[in-house]
A and B are shown apart, each in its own frame.
Chain A
Amino acid sequence: MTWESAMPTLIVGTSLLTGLLIFFLEEKRQRLRSTLNLLGAGLKLVFVGIIIVGTLQGREYEFRFPLVLGFDFLLRVDMLSLLFVTLSGVLWFVTTIYAIGYLEGSEHRSRFFGFFSICVAASTGIALAGNLITFFIFYEFLTLSTYPLVVHRGTEESLRAGRTYLWYTITGGTVLFVGVAWLNVLVGDVDFSHAGSLASVAPYYHTELIAIFVLLIAGLGVKAALVPLHGWLPVAMVAPAPVSALLHAVAVVKAGAFGIVRVVYDVFGVSFANSLGVLTPLAILASITIIYGSLRAMTQDDLKKRLAYSTISQVSYITLGVALFGITGTIGSLVHLVHQGIMKITLFFCAGNVAETLGLHRISEMNGIGRRMPVTMGAFTVAALGMIGLPPIAGFISKWYLALGGLEAGKPWVVVVLLVSSLLNAAYFLPILHAAWFKKPSQSWSPRTGKLETSAMLLVPPVITAGFSLAAGLFAASNGSPLALARQIAELLYYSSP
């Protein structure tokens, strides 16, 4: 095994090993557990840094292992996986800090952090998967490792949520499985680096390919929470805040969206998918989801539930961008993959802080909370404004490119969808901000216990990610920004394929 082939396994392996080690730690070894957690997350960041530098120098990282006759287990680093693996690496590190602070003193922490790390290993595997079957393996692995996190509290409510979550995701996984197997019978192993090879399939099989596309998108759509397959997401928010943060920002929902990106660009090839006529229905479905999610978000009083519906809406921006046939839409979609992650994770961190520090879950109880927790609500405000699409925060960049992409693709109605959605975003986020900053507190807050408004481990992560959200927007034009990376990937997708 060479250095280049070891690298992808190492990146997946660090989280997996961390998880397995933590399982067998005694409950009270808190210091050791936290050290292991941070060490694993840190080491992974170092490895990600190495492959970024290496890829820029033109090195190729690939690990291949024949599994069954007819398919290989394949991990490979390409630009798209670089984008996703960096996102998950960075956000995992931040969330680990947050989770350590959040779960201080609670039960079953070894179990929690064990599955937490394994869940990250799964989403890293999804990022690095080099063919459809490897992607599928990690996709199912993710379902399994997130279930224990969703039911972590062990209450009736969380077990019910866990059951709903499993039914949706396992059914989705099964549908995806049929699609993957069917495609494998038709054309063999689908390697992501041979995008566009499906275009040479004889026209006789095009109906079958359309059916396969529908199966794949339906399977992925469950995790990506496309309407009407979104039912699990609002229920699953009973999970502890760091889990919701991870689920909504990098792990589950993103895995679905990332899968859709892979299927359209690297399995079917965007021009071929367009000529099959499957992209426009997908764009319409995404648009319906965007509007529906926002509408439902407006009526929720529970803060985490409102955020969950907002996720349904926001993640579909990615799908919408993918379904627009044109380079600008692609840029918007890929950049939103990152932007939505950093903004949404901030919002969930803040919601967790409010719940953990003051015991508040409802928006109607949050009048004047800005005075008690100014830093938390400051970070919340940045992220919320970004979600609405206010410049110069990251969300604006995404929406701008998506709207231009819609025009470029000859679908001006996309602009209308985006405008309506932004209005709705404003309608459900601004009242929270207004209540938090300008209304008089309807109750007296429990006083601060230390110098800070809450523990430092809870406070630093949202500040960092809010900072990312601002920076990603402010410095979008500079080299190395998510936008620059997205542009580079999109150019590769459109100009280098045969």
Chain B
Amino acid sequence: MIIWLVLLPFAGGVLAFALARWGRVIGLLTTAGTFAVGLIFSAQIWQNGPQRYLVGGWSVPLGINFFADGLSAVMLLITGGIGTIISLYSISYFAPTARKGEWSENDTFWPLWLFLVGGLNALFLSADVFNVYVTLEVVTLAAIGLAALAGNAAALTASLRYLFAALIGSMAYLMGVALLYASYGLLDFQALQQVVQTDAPTVLALSLMTVGLLLKTALFPLHFWLPPAHSTAPAPVSAALSGLVVKGSFYITLRLWFETFYGQIHFSAGQLLGALGTAAILWGSFQAVRQKRLKLLIAYSTVGQIGYLFLLFPIITATTSRDVVAAWAWSGGLFQAISHALAKTSMFLSAGVLLKAVGTDEIKSMRGIAGHLPLTTFALALAGISLIGLPPSGGFVAKWLMMKAIIGSGQWWWIPVVTLGGLLTAGYVFLMLRYTFLPQEANHPFKPVSPVMQGTAFALAVGAVVIGFRAKELITLLNIGMGFPEVPVLENPGL
């Protein structure tokens, strides 16, 4: 079962490359199929707990080792679900090749996109620090290829910058892996956990790996490559990059910090990541407010929203056992990752709709779109609500848990970060939405846009809101295998 999650998209990618004419059909069927397998697989984890799988039967340290717990399941579900919707959208977005023998954006997109999905799935299933590196490379290379898809100067410059940043990140990470292997002769996340000590080589290894991963996750001040790359790519690619790809390296950071090295990391290291997160929230949101183009605004918003993910580090690092407060921070941070993935993909897909309808993504051009693109307007509004963290939405549940964790941990200095970040987010969301209330400028033609594109963006936005209602199940799934208290309800200190 577990192997199909990786095999299916890779096989689909090869097939889509060979049979470019059928790329869109293969793409949609493959992503949908992978999602279906992911659903069944998650149900198994829900019932039987974490699972380990040795590819080809070879055991450690020779074979490839797969491991999946609740965290992996949730990431697989997000990738599968959002991936399927992006595929559906892309069928309408990319025009099929007109004549035989020609090669178009459409033909390049599908194989790369399926490799990206396969790489992400493999990443969420890998059990050791080296395999994770390999899968991360697959993801990054596919992502850079996709980012360059538009083929114009801006896109190429941006993806080249992306490539350099990614290479430096990979190198730093790989050096860390080498150091770890030299010290312990082990690579498995969980096996390492039994033996790691806080000596100088280990500290250096973790630092190198973390810096490499932060570069790929685009945490401030290592975010410089993200806004151009995410804003010049075609809309469905931007959606995948912002919604899914940055979560891959974030996932590895979580595994390292809270599985392998949990309990060994100094308080100040967590505080440092929290401080960088804070800077990201403030800087990203501030830049987003200043943008004139919708896709750049959304890209800077990603820089800011990534900052929230790192607020869970200072809190969990400060705990010595996986207590209730750590569980709140854990589920709050991951809920932020999930709802951001949904909301952000929806926003980028809506930006694509706008581009197709008016030919530009200048925010000014959104005047009067409410009448022509009501579904897209609603999609932007709902996704915005979730990003701000207004109830009832996934973003709200994330902020709620995060705020409780902050207060419960006594690290009150993060409170203004969360509140101010929310206000700034509200600032750019409403800056965007207010144009939809303005009367439309005369002689501004609207081209019709496929209802599938509008519908998929809307569906994702609805998803970002609705997961706020099914928070309980998701949180329970997230905690499987991580050793957090099953029912994270604190005995209230006040009573």
Contact = CB atoms under 8 A, between A and B. Distances in A.
Nearest to A182: B407
Contacts of B487: 69
Nearest to A206: B494
Interface stretch (A50-58, A169-177, A295-303): A169-177
Contacts of B53: none
Given A68-B475, A162-B434, A185 B419 contact: no
A67 B469 contact: yes
Contacts of B392: 67, 137, 141
A166 B472 contact: no
A70 B488 contact: yes
A3 interface: no
Contacts of B437: 148, 151-152, 154, 159
A181 B426 contact: no
A174 B494 contact: no
B293 interface: no
A141 B490 CA distance: 28
A228 interface: no
Contact of B423 (A141, A151, A170): A170
A69 B469 contact: no
Contact of B434 (A159, A171, A186, A205): A159
Interface in B403-419: 403-404, 407-408, 415, 419
A387 B399 CA distance: 42
Contact of B438 (A68, A136, A154): A154
Q: Tell me if B's interface is mostly helix, strand, loop or mixed.
A: helix
B397 A68 contact: yes
Interface string B372-413: 001000000000010010111000110111011001100000
A4 interface: no
Contacts of B408: 185
Interface in B327-365: none
A408 B396 CA distance: 43
B370 interface: yes
Contacts of A198: 494
Contacts of B468: 67
A136 B439 CA distance: 33
Contacts of A143: 390
A181 B399 CA distance: 10
A377 B388 CA distance: 45
Nearest to B475: A69
A292 B494 CA distance: 38
B493 A137 contact: no
B472 A68 contact: yes
B368 to A, nearest CB: 9
A68 B471 contact: yes
Contacts of A186: 492-494
A34 interface: no
Interface residues of B, number: 39
A171 B430 CA distance: 14
B471 A144 contact: no
Interface string A127-148: 0000000001100110110011
Name, among A68, A175, A205, the residue most crowded by chain B CB atoms within 10 Å (CB to CB). Answer: A68
B80 interface: no
A175 B416 CA distance: 10
B228 interface: no
Interface string A197-215: 1101110010011000000
A110 to B, nearest CB: 10
A174 B471 contact: no
Nearest to B491: A188
A147 B436 CA distance: 13
Interface string A419-458: 0000000000000000000000000000000000000000
A184 interface: yes
Given A111-B370, A137-B391, A154-B439, A70 B434 contact: no
Name, among A136, A162, A177, A198, the residue most crowded by chain B CB atoms within 10 Å (CB to CB). Answer: A177
Contacts of B430: 147, 163, 166
B494 A140 contact: no
B472 A69 contact: yes
A136 B475 CA distance: 22
A23 interface: yes
Contacts of A154: 437-439
Contacts of B438: 154, 159
Given A137-B392, A159-B437, A162-B434, A68 B401 contact: yes
A187 interface: yes
B493 A205 contact: yes
B43 interface: no
A32 interface: no
B495 interface: yes
Given A70-B489, A137-B391, A151-B434, A178 B426 contact: no
B422 interface: yes
Contact of A185 (B388, B422, B469, B490): B490
Contact of B494 (A159, A181, A202): A202
B65 to A, nearest CB: 32
B409 to A, nearest CB: 10
Given A66-B472, A205-B493, A181 B403 contact: yes
Nearest to A158: B437
A73 to B, nearest CB: 8
Contacts of A69: 471-472, 475, 487-489
Given A68-B471, A68-B472, A70-B488, A201 B434 contact: no
A386 to B, nearest CB: 36
Contact of A188 (B419, B434, B488, B495): B495
Contacts of A174: 419, 422-423
Name, among A66, A178, A181, the residue most crowded by chain B CB atoms within 10 Å (CB to CB). Answer: A181
Given A68-B401, A68-B472, A69-B472, A144 B494 contact: no
Nearest to B474: A68
A278 B50 CA distance: 51
Interface string A67-87: 111100000000000000000
Nearest to A152: B437
B495 A185 contact: no
Contacts of A70: 404, 488-490
User: Top 9 nearest A-B pairs by Cβ distance?
Assistant: A137-B391, A181-B403, A186-B494, A68-B471, A201-B494, A187-B494, A174-B419, A188-B492, A185-B407
Given A68-B475, A188-B492, 4 more contacts: A68-B472, A181-B404, A181-B407, A185-B404
5 contacts: A67-B471, A68-B401, A140-B391, A166-B426, A188-B490
